[in-house]
Amino acid sequence: MEMRSLIEESSKYLLNTYNRQPVVLIKGRGTRVYSLDGKEYIDFVGGVAVNVLGHCHRKVVVAIQKQAQRLIHVSNLYHIEPQIKLAKQLVKHSFADKVFFCNSGAEANEAAIKLARKYSKERFGDDRYEIITAFGSFHGRTIATITATGQEKFQKGFEPLLQGFRYVPFNNVDAIQEAITHRTCAILLEPVQGEGGVNIPSDDYFKKVRDMCDKNDILLILDEVQTGMGRTGRLFAHEHFGITPDIMTIAKGLGGGVPIGAMLCTNKVASAFSPGNHASTFGGNPLVCASALATLETILEDGYLLEHCKNMGMYFLNQLKELAEDFPVYITEARGLGLLLGLQMSVDCNKIVSNCLKRGLLINSTAGNVLRFAPPLIIEEPDIDILIENLRDILENYYDE
């Protein structure tokens, strides 16, 4: 079937919930994807920070193939070997003692919200249930997680929202202190705000938040759905700030492309959940856990990939900063951590995204005016150079196109 016909059928049969680009992608290898009409694209979206090892990484593909031949799904009413192995590795390489598996970042954050409330109510009483989150945050699209999300555009039309959330400016410790009441049970933050525009906190922000949580006996929940699994050059982004949370959520890059999420927590907090409190039919099934285990092991293998991500992130950011210096009328700021980077624009981002697509480059925009880059962690300098050269050409001819 021709690409145009497929796009027409997409519009006919699928709910209109995405602003899709006019391309049908059918194949991927490494940092490249290929469309139905045979065109090659360098992928700087990475499935929105999902394809950390690139497309169809050999170890991930083999792990999926082997597991699919053995056992695809079995209920969590029974013990699952790949799930146990994955949980063990996550605990070994994090602050956590226990893991709960689900299917997405939103579900992981739902689990975190439920656990924080249940733990706090059991320990402090029924009046301890409020969670402080940040303006510009994004925590998912369920009713609970869009309520936790500090952006009205995701909440509009879905009222009434869930009670028990308070919002403060990101990277503002004083605002958090003012928002804390006797009802506060947790503070939920992203180490770097992804959907909010790749917003980076000051170096001491999270240490102060951690201290505040300790002094007030409040749980710290870190949403590492977008920043975890090596995205920032560390396995988890909070490692950059020298702190550990009580609860952490991950997803996106965890499965190497398959849908899996996880909530990690300490034993102290985990004790609040017992059988029947929370569950997921597909959460942590054999197939996705085999893929995630292969992904995690590859990231951790000899430390090369994390170091590579760090180096490529620094190179990429420097190139973006040079671009910002050369085009101050169009670019407000270049910022990022590892391979999660943003270019804040004063012109129409959609026009630039569309222009890049025509040139064989996949990028996307977020927060209205920020170009976001979250390529596979295996990206190399020549690919970054190609993107920068094309962005430079697009901006030089912005009003002529």
List C-alpha distances in Å: 268 to 1, 6, 98, 247, 380: 56, 52, 10, 10, 42
Based on the residue annotation, tell me whether 252 is a catalytic residue of this protein. Answer: yes
Q: Which of 44, 95, 138, 327 is catalytic?
A: 138
DSSP code per residue over 11-32: HHHS-S-----S--EEEEEBTE
Residue type, 227: T
Q: How far apart are CA 65 and CA 352, in angstroms?
A: 39
Q: How far apart are CA 59 and CA 148, in angstroms?
A: 36
**Matching residue, tokens 């391309």:** 23
- 247 contacts 96 by C-beta, under 8 angstroms: no
Q: How far apart are CA 7 and CA 153, in angstroms?
A: 27
Which of 48, 56, 140 minimizes the C-alpha distance to 363? 48
Q: Which of 43, 206, 241, 252 is catalytic?
A: 252
Based on the residue annotation, tell me whether 223 is a catalytic residue of this protein. Answer: yes
Q: Which of 101, 154, 223, 316 is catalytic?
A: 223
The catalytic site residues sit at 138, 223, 252
